[in-house]
Structure 1
Amino acid sequence: MSYPRFSDISRSFAPGWFAAVMGTGVLAMTTQSLATYWSPLAGPALVLHWFNVLLFLLLAVPWLTRWLRFRPAVMQTLMHPVQASFYPTFSIALLVLAAQWLLFTPYVGIAKIFWWLGVVLHFAFSFVVLFFMFRGEHVAVDHVTPAKFIPAVGLVVMPLAGGPLLQHMDGAVREWALTLNVIGLGAGSMMYLGLLGMTLQRKYLHKPAQGILTPTVWIHLAPIGVIPLSLMNVLEQLPFPLMREVATVLMLLVWGFGVWWLVMASLLTLSARAAGQLPFALSWWGFTFPLGAFAAESLRLHKLLGWSSILSIGIVAWLLLCLFWSVTLWRTARGVTSGAIFQPHP
């Protein structure tokens, strides 16, 4: 089988590719956070940052080409009951890059560009993707997986970089940026609560998502990790110190659910692997960002409370993230080298 041409790669380029940027970015940032406890990690964290910037640029070429040259293919994917939810990974990747540039470089202006572009695009994606789903009749119970969280996750990711960036803004610009952070956090949080009920209903009453959708069970950890972090970032910009104490308690409770879900997701994944129901696919990148979000939440909570038990669990999550990221990157590189990963799934 000959290697696919660039035009063929662009035409069938999966919208979920940018989950790799999301996962690599959160690995870079959590590794940098852990460097405060073990300084040798600072070097690998910086390498991961620049590797992720390059990865985003490489993936953006076929992704943008698809939008410019193959509009029918794009529209077909946007109408798909499962694949459409992965389009917002592009805008979430921009928001993650904004957080990276703020953490690793002094170039606040570049972080602002990434953030504003990510905010505008993600609001657009959240409306377009969900409009088609709400307006149509093509989504069935079989299509309800935690992948449906992705538009909501992007909304709550906005304050991760958006909160700290507010100190570099003033006047009306700062007020609008703060308002957009609040809108994103509020909309995404409420959406997650509704989708959580839907996905748990499927797990209780319907057949489980298996095969290439098996890793989506980990996506639960993304909003569990991000929502408390974003809430704290927003509250740090508001004159309500008492609310920050309340938010810390809420963060602890949500984190507790995350610990429980981490174990459950591990058991379900091991069960699927033992049954031969875990084939490699791009969906494996779904292991990474959620784990990183939970690890980041654990590290932030440890700074607030000083509990060594929370730090220990956060390190375990980070080590698991390193394992999943390494295996998935290796398998993805093999698929790119052979061209097999560019073959569309039925």
Structure 2
Amino acid sequence: MTQTPPDTEQAFSRLAHFPVTFFAVLMGLFGLALALHAAADSFAIAEIAARAVLWLGLGCFAVISAVYLGKLIRHPAAVSAEWHHPVRLAFFPTITISLLLMATAIHGYRPDLALPIWLVGVAGQGVLTVAVISGWISHRAFEVGHLTPAWFIPAVGNVIVPLAGVSLGWVEISWLFFSAGMIFWLILLVLVFNRLIFHAPIPARLFPTLVILIAPPAVAFVSYMRLVGGVDAFAHMLLSGAYVFAILVLVQVPKLMRLPFALSWWALSFPLAALTVASFVYGRAQDSSAHLVIGVLVLVTLSLVVLGLLWRTGLAIMRDEICRPE
């Protein structure tokens, strides 16, 4: 009987520690691709960069998905443990969110390819939303300390649906998911701020998830614009709310800069991408040069952040700092 080489067996054993949070990398990459595409009307080179980042995101999606599938096959108990983890549970929808963002990014080039990806993403997002929320309200013993802004992720995933859904002709489904996302966002917003104000600070490893506060109103603004086709009072409130949360997060930057690297740092990328797209969408809809300038500034910041995260993640992989037991 042929024995598995020690190095191969060690690699298989390490699969057990490959976290579902790796899918947040894909949200950042596809978000950057969409942000660059939104800037293409102002900078022609942005479209070239958007295509390059999209291809990078597709490649990373293939690799990360294959590795996590390997984990599911070789170590199903480890996947089950993540599902029952009070914090990592909220990261499972990053898988379907990545599909929705992928479909949105591809739509401008190949709508025929975007539709099946979007449909799979919508179906998966619906299932995961119900499953995650059912897990929250089940008999499990959650504690206040388990609650972080990462719990917004299932809600954010729902408001992403209209980004491509409206253009693909699925307007009613887009309204359904948008409505669900907004309702759960408001509920979680109250819970998260109660935790931030009245309870112990978020652990350093998860503190970067605070940036996720920016994402729901920013994404909701863009989706709402797709659904109603213009700027109204509610759209103004969503975009302004995103800027308010961005200012609150900006104040925390000195503390963020002192924290050691962890995969949770990828939480910085998608919210900045959402704010970039929202600024460009509003700037063009209202002919506001100020918002276009904000969009450019946030896009530059986002690009630097993603480049830094790619470099630091690669370094962490080479140093064997991640995919280890906690």
TM-score (norm 2): 0.93
Structure 2 residue corresponding to 1:162, chosen from 165, 174, 177: 165
Give, in whole Å, the separation in 2 of the partners of 1:47 and 1:198: 39
Q: Would the aligned equivalents of 1:298 and 1:310 in 2 still touch at CA under 8 Å?
A: yes
Alignment of 1:323-342 (within 5 A): 323-342=304-323
The answer to whether 1:233 aligns with 2:226 is yes
Deviation for aligned residue 1:185? 0.4
| C-alpha contact 1:31 1:45 (8 A) present in aligned 2 | yes
Match of 1:51 among 51, 56, 61: 56
Partner residue, 2:4: none
One of 169, 174, 184 as aligned partner of 2:177: 184
- Cα offsets for 1:194-242 (capped at 9, x unmatched): 1111111122211221311111111011111111111221224xxxxxx
Give the corresponding residue for 1:300. 281
On the 8 A contact 2:27/2:270 being kept in 1, the answer is yes
Deviates more, 1:49-58 or 1:263-272: 263-272
Aligned twin of 1:200: 193
Change (3 A) 1:201 1:4: farther
5+ residue gaps in structure 1? 167-176, 237-243
Alpha-carbon RMSD across the aligned residues, in angstroms, is 1.7
- Residues 4 and 339 in structure 1, CA contact (< 8 A), matched pair in contact too: no
**Is residue 322 of structure 1 aligned with residue 303 of structure 2?**
yes
Q: Is the 8 A contact 2:225 2:231 kept in 1?
A: no
Determine helix, strand or coil for the equivalent of 1:341. Answer: coil
The count of residues paired between Structure 1 and Structure 2 equals 320
Q: Which moved more, 1:255-264 or 1:48-57?
A: 255-264
Residue 178 of structure 1: how far off its partner (Å) = 2.5
Structure 1 distance, partners of 2:158, 2:33, is 21
Q: Give 1:271 deviation, angstroms.
A: 2.4
Q: Is the 8 A contact 1:214 1:269 kept in 2?
A: no
Equivalent position of 1:171 in the other structure: none
Counterpart position of 2:3: none
Counterpart in 2 of 1:139? 142
**Cα gap change, 1:136/1:51 in structure 2, threshold over 3 Å: closer, same or farther?**
same
* Corresponding residue number in structure 2 for 1:252: 236
- The equivalent residue for 1:313 is 294
1:217 aligns to 2:222 (yes or no): no
Corresponding position: 1:282 with 2:275: no
Q: Which runs of 5+ in 2 are unaligned?
A: 1-6
State the Cα deviation string for residues 218-272 of structure 1 (Å, max 9, x = none): 1011111111111221224xxxxxxx443xx322222222222212112213124
Q: How many percent of aligned residue pairs carry the same amino acid? A: 28
CA contact (8 A) 1:252 1:301 kept: no
